[in-house]
Structure 1
Amino acid sequence: MAERRFLLAGLGNPGREYQLTRHNIGFLFIDHLADSHGWQVDSLKMQGFYCQGRAWGGQIFLLKPQTYMNRSGECVRSFLDYFKIPPEHLLVLHDDIDLAAGRIKLVARGGAGGHNGIRSIIQHLGTQDFARMKIGIGRPQTSAEVKGQPVDQFVLSRFTGDEQLLFAQRKSLVAEASELFAREGIDICMNRINGR
């Protein structure tokens, strides 16, 4: 029996100017997952940096598309096709402004929700049926006295020190969710992770 293959794709933008920005949180957690296995996401193929190894009962590919967020689907689709990974074994890690900072939510399918990277993947796969790990970054702060930062500026701005600490604390939950996805599937993963 062939070994099961999984692709975990973290979304972000390439380049130093985007490091540690909220929109790049998918890249951040892909690097954390790689580090936890002693891997490095440094091989370049089909417009993406990736690594592969055996873990969680299968062959795991970790991917950071280098196409810029709005064209993420080009890279993700190429990887699925080249390595013959079925879309049901794809998990996309991405930022979500509608979730409180640090909240992790798994979903099995759905629309883009205003996220251009997810929109691109839906377009290139021709389906909304793929799993996502939404990582909450919150919304810009607003009050009666202070107008909030525009969303496009907010997602491309850097984490605060407190946010960096918060996301460092979420590494273990992201790793647990990733392993559950590979071993047990998205439904069990959602049941055990969402709401924690």
Structure 2
Amino acid sequence: MILVVGLGNIGDAYKDTRHNVGFMLIDLILKNNDFLQISNTKFKGELYKIGSSLFLKPNTYMNNSGLSVKAVKDFYKCQRIIVIHDDIDLKLGSLRFKKAGSSGGHNGLKSIDKLCSNDYERVRIGIGRSNNIKEFVLSKFNKDEKIILDKVLDHTKNALFELIDSNDIAYIASKYSLKVL
């Protein structure tokens, strides 16, 4: 079983913020696919099944995402985890893929690393950077940025399904990575 996790913060105050691009991608996927919603409070999140893959939006705040990921991973004995997250080290419009590694200071990844290990695939969606990082990641995209983001999310959706099918992150990275200069 493959577990795909979109990271974000719960609540209307955080909807459509930069830190929620993982949630945004999961929502786009659900909008365009038939799914089964799985209800179980111990998963601490919204869990959906498409085909033989699980898609999770943790209902914990970002800093505790690992609690939800671990609960689902342990219950379903997931062999692979793919985490979709925002990345301030990449410019808006950029997309990168990697396997394992450090959290890069991302609190959602730190939580998953602590409870599940860091041996999972990452879909890194660039959001850019500002001086006040906390304020920046919790801010919403402006109109022009949203146009760029929507294109990246659509591109990422296609990459994600191919990654799920191929299990070849190096190939997916060479085919789908986006770089903004």
TM-score, reference length from structure 1:
0.85
Instruction: Give per-residue Cα distances to partners, 1:131-186, cap 9 Å, x unaligned.
Output: 0000000012xxxxxxx4x1100000111111111111123311121112111112
RMSD across aligned positions (CA)? 1.6
The residue number in structure 1 matching 2:47 is: 50
1:67 to 60, 70, 87: 60
1:170 aligned counterpart, secondary structure:
helix
1:169 to 142, 145, 151: 151
| Matched ranges for 1:10-25 at <5 A | 10-25=6-21
The residue number in structure 2 matching 1:193 is: 176
Larger Rg: 1
Q: CA 1:28–1:44 in structure 2 vs 1: closer, same or farther (change >3 Å)?
A: farther
| CA contact 1:11–1:117 (8 Å) conserved in 2 | yes
| CA contact 1:31–1:40 (8 Å) conserved in 2 | no
Q: Percent identity?
A: 34
The residue number in structure 2 matching 1:28 is: 24
2:32 aligned counterpart, secondary structure:
helix
Q: Moved runs in structure 1, 4+ residues, more than 4 A?
A: 40-44
Q: CA 1:42–1:81 in structure 2 vs 1: closer, same or farther (change >3 Å)?
A: closer
Amino acid in the other structure paired with 2:176: I
Pairwise CA distance, 1:195: 4.1
